[in-house]
Structure 1
Amino acid sequence: MNWSRRNVLAAGAASALAANAVAASTVQAAAGKAATGKGPFPASFLWGAATAGHQVEGQNVNSDIWLLEHVKPSLFQESSGDGCASLQRWEEDLDIVRSLGLNTYRFSLEWARIEPAEGEFSAVMLDHYKRVIAGCRDRGLVPLVTFNHFTAPRWFAAQGGWEVATAPAKFTRFCDKAARYLAADIGYATTLNEPNLLRMLDWLPLPFPPSMKEMQAAMLKEAARQCGSDRFSAANCGNADAMLAPMIAGHKAAVAAIKSANPSLPVGVSLAISDDQPIGKNSRRDAKRREVYGEWLQAARETCDFIGVQTYSRSLIDSSKALPPPKGATVSQMGEEYYPAAIEGTIRYAHAATGLPVMVTENGVATTDDAMRAAFIPEAIAAVGRAMAGGVPVLGYVHWSLLDNFEWLFGYTPKFGLVAVDRTTMKRTIKPSARIYGAIAAAGGLTQAQLKG
């Protein structure tokens, strides 16, 4: 697909369709319509936007990633700094979610804030997250809470992070403490965010250059030195093979701990999954699926109430490797092909592999052109609808992300947000694409004609 004036016009048409669907009297009336179930999606369907603690809260100084952002050399282009100041402005963020007519907010607990030193838990920070959860409920938003979204306390990383046998017990202790304080009012929970990410990166069309791996090693070595340790490992910056067994064990134990605090709380795990499509004879697609998702899908099947799917594009795989996007394809700021339909394939695959209901916990596109996002959202929701029409139970669609936030190695350059954030004043500005998404949600989804598209 080439991005052109035709596509911009299509985005405008989608906006008009969505606006007509809600008959736009007031935002409150629109949100009320979503609750009636009169649209094509079920009344219980979750329409949400997502954030993650380290990426929006700011000044997460006790975390492993904060240290990695500041050592030299570092793979990180810039520091997360003040984030989007959401630690202070969370009420404003919730008000925006509500104003759009959405009914769900996904956010994460920041382990490094709650347990900044091993065994020392902060009642102040537990109270903070309790207020956020209550704030969701007060606004009619279902709190979808991730117990760990990549970042961990610095002390945990300096002990070897997820690469050592003691990691599951330490993570479970944190989850148990947090769940006993918070779980009563959480709507849905996930233990870990994209624990398979590093294995996914091994299947990128263009492998990382050796110099990047050397810099990562030097960065981790310096972080270890500053902690007075001989090791340092972070969930999204370490040895994927060494992390696999401890992460799966930690997930399983965390599910049990969360369920112990609230047996009725649905618990899952969110996996990074691309729409893997075979090209030619002897495609290695199934090999990728075994390596990147297989053991995690098995763990989800054994322990979870639902499976979280996080999808941004498709991956074309021939007999030897993953291929670059097709010639002439439009790509995002992250170099991924613009392909909103990918979410249908990953929903179908995750459900077939686990037998579980699916929650789209992340889906979006990195672009400075909001017209692209405005077109992406209806196309992606149509793809979700097709999966549902095909018999897959889908609990909800949560867009990544609510805000233009910190995107790890890439800093603040990629723009995934429904809402722009001024880096100096932290002023939030709702983008047109957010209004389109909110109107679709308020209408209860797309019509059958739009779903067939």
Structure 2
Amino acid sequence: MTHPSLPDTFLWGVATSGHQTEGDNDAADTWFLEHTTPSLFREPSGPACRSHQLWETDLDLAAGLGLNAFRFSVEWARVEPERGVVSAEALDHYERVVDGCLERGLAPVVTFSHFTAPHWFAAAGSWTAADAPDRFAAQCDRVMARFGDRIAYAVTLNEPNLEQLLQAGAKLPPEAEALKNRMLGAAAQAAQCRVYASANVIPAHRQDEFQAAFTRAHRAARAAIKGRRGDVPVGVSIAIADEVAVPGGEERRDAKRAAVYDHWLREARDDDFIGVQNYERIVHGPDGEVVVDDELNGMGTVIAPGSLAGAVRYAHQVSGVPVLVTEHGIQTADDAQRAAFVPAAVRELVAEAGTGTPVLGYCHWTLLDNFEWIFGYGAQLGLYEVDRATFRRHPKPSAKAYADVVRGHRGALTAPR
């Protein structure tokens, strides 16, 4: 029942992250920064979507869409809330999530760090500390020891290149960079440490330092995961736009690729797959980015369904390994845009697979309207709306649109509830 361009093992899933959905992740560095004055975060995450309590509901929603994969993160801050103090209760919880996935026919795609880390880790040098790779490897090892025998894919780090992408495209205004530095300075003072740092609010002057640190952490994590189970596919997920050029823009396009993506794509040559997270297409001309007068998404970029296929193509060309689409979606309050965008993007992806590019699966970001980092709850990317008072989940038309796409490839499936 699968499309001839796709393998029988192709994953159709949704992607989520712990801090953005679970709620009350109060031992995490991001939580600390949300409550710092001043803060770059629009609002605190608070209870988020209450997914720590409602995880079975969320898995039922994913299964109800006819999916066969569920990507989620294990929150290190819950597992090791204090240095050297491991919570058996937290490991029990995530083991139940893994088993819940399997009971519903969902392959567990586990992210070992989706930006957040323990507060104590951030106050002790964060990812640039000398012992950071060993600390992260120990976390990966304890997770693998508990339920690594049952996971389908392991993602070490989520978008370690996000800040380079944001800065290369000037997506954040200069005042945001200044506020970021003030926030981190205030956090260091409040935590009584020399420097406070977190994975998705990195100052511009520390980008190279963090890239090297993330690389060491990824390698250590990969070794730890493989040490427990050599056959589990391991990779890193990167943020990657579809960079295209009009005549005269090739040099600018190639410089952007070299600055933002190529390090991680080369690093992935030693991995089992490369995770691609795509949300936009950037058009380069001889004088800079070309502004296209067309329908825009909530990020202010053109709605381009073919951007995912373009990003996947380039990621495979450079890395040489199969691609797992670990995130793809559209920020918009107009769900009609999402309902039209997803099927169109998947058609382009399937066509790309038909040319020979190995694509392992597609995980839509995201299941629920959730906490979108510095933008708080103001950005909508979910297939389900969440009532902020009752936390009830309500399907949008895009949920059915995605289910219909999956049904077309996997056969008759249960309609979304």
Q: What is the TM-score normalised by the length of structure 1?
A: 0.87
Matched with 1:195 is: 160
Matched with 1:182 is: 147
* Alignment match of 2:373 (pick from 384, 397, 408): 408
- Secondary structure of 1:155's aligned partner: helix
Superposed CA deviations along residues 174-194 of structure 1, whole A, max 9, x for unmatched, are 111111112110011100000
Aligned-residue offset at 1:173: 1.4
- Secondary structure of 1:202's aligned partner: helix
Conservation of the 8 A alpha-carbon contact between 1:191 and 1:251: yes
Change (3 A) 1:224 1:308: same
* Alignment match of 2:183 (pick from 212, 219, 226): 219
Higher Cα Rg: structure 1 or 2? 1
- Secondary structure of 2:289's aligned partner: coil
Conservation of the 8 A alpha-carbon contact between 1:39 and 1:443: no
Matched with 2:108 is: 143
Matched letter for residue 249 of structure 1: R
Aligned equivalents of 1:227, 1:172: Cα separation in 2: 25
Aligned-residue offset at 1:154: 0.6
Q: Where in structure 2 are the equivalents of 1:133-172 lying within 5 Å?
A: 133-172=98-137
Matched letter for residue 10 of structure 2: F
Match status 1:259 vs 2:226? yes
Q: Where in structure 2 are the equivalents of 1:95-134 lying within 5 Å?
A: 95-134=60-99
Gaps of at least 5 residues in structure 1 are 1-35, 447-453
- Secondary structure of 1:220's aligned partner: helix
- Secondary structure of 1:199's aligned partner: helix
Match status 1:353 vs 2:321? no
Match status 1:269 vs 2:269? no
Q: Where in structure 2 are the equivalents of 1:85-96 lying within 5 Å?
A: 85-96=50-61
Match status 1:228 vs 2:192? yes
- Secondary structure of 1:232's aligned partner: coil
Q: What is the TM-score normalised by the length of structure 2?
A: 0.95
Out of 189-198 and 157-166, give the one that drifted further: 157-166
Matched with 1:423 is: 388
Matched with 2:330 is: 365
Aligned equivalents of 1:364, 1:83: Cα separation in 2: 20
Aligned equivalents of 2:310, 2:12: Cα separation in 1: 20
* Alignment match of 2:359 (pick from 379, 394, 402): 394
Match status 1:326 vs 2:302? no
RMSD: 1.5
Matched letter for residue 131 of structure 2: T
Matched letter for residue 100 of structure 1: L
Superposed CA deviations along residues 300-335 of structure 1, whole A, max 9, x for unmatched, are 112x10111000110112345434x412x2111222
- Secondary structure of 1:435's aligned partner: helix
Match status 1:340 vs 2:305? yes
Aligned equivalents of 2:262, 2:306: Cα separation in 1: 23
Aligned-residue offset at 1:445: 6.6
Match status 1:84 vs 2:52? no
Conservation of the 8 A alpha-carbon contact between 2:6 and 2:359: no
Conservation of the 8 A alpha-carbon contact between 1:193 and 1:270: yes
Aligned equivalents of 1:267, 1:234: Cα separation in 2: 23
Matched with 1:294 is: 262
Conservation of the 8 A alpha-carbon contact between 1:39 and 1:445: no
Matched with 2:30 is: 65
Aligned equivalents of 2:110, 2:381: Cα separation in 1: 20
Matched letter for residue 196 of structure 2: F
- Secondary structure of 2:42's aligned partner: coil
Aligned-residue offset at 1:165: 2.9
Conservation of the 8 A alpha-carbon contact between 1:146 and 1:189: yes
Matched letter for residue 131 of structure 1: R
Matched letter for residue 293 of structure 1: Y
* Alignment match of 1:381 (pick from 329, 333, 346): 346
Large movers: runs of 4+ above 6 Å = none
Matched with 2:274 is: 307
Match status 1:285 vs 2:249? no
Aligned equivalents of 1:49, 1:107: Cα separation in 2: 9
Matched with 1:449 is: none
